[in-house]
Amino acid sequence: MGTHHSTLTFQTSGNCDMVDITSEVEGVVQASGFKNGICTVFCVGSTGSIVTIEYEEGLLKDFPEAMERLAPVEAVYEHHLRWQDGNGHSHIRAYNSCQELV
């Protein structure tokens, strides 16, 4: 059984910026030469996330608005009070974007 490792890098503007990485991941899978297996996609960092979502204009607008309702930027977060880094909302959003939004 073999393995294939690859690194992809994407630039975002932060705060709910969504990037469709489908074609890049497909390219890595094709380049691997494998016909069967598992592809694991991992995001380094605690304020980013990888989600499966229908990438279309309506959701590109709806998703950031939903995140603002769930974890407003201007709310007081204990994380921010402790570390003074102003990104408590980003940690909450990264976790919530991996969960089913009800």
Per-residue pLDDT of the chain (102 residues; tens, 9 = 90+): 899 999 999 998 888 889 999 999 999 999 999 999 999 999 888 888 888 889 999 999 999 999 999 999 999 999 988 999 988 888 888 887 665 544
Please give the Cα distance from 15 to 100 (Å, whole number): 19
- Beta-carbon count within 10 A of 77 CB: 19
pTM here is: 0.79
Please give the Cα distance from 23 to 38 (Å, whole number): 17
- The contacts of residue 87 (CB under 8 Å, 6+ apart) are 47, 79, 80
Please give the Cα distance from 57 to 10 (Å, whole number): 20
Domains in the chain (CATH in brackets) are 22-96 (2.60.120.460)
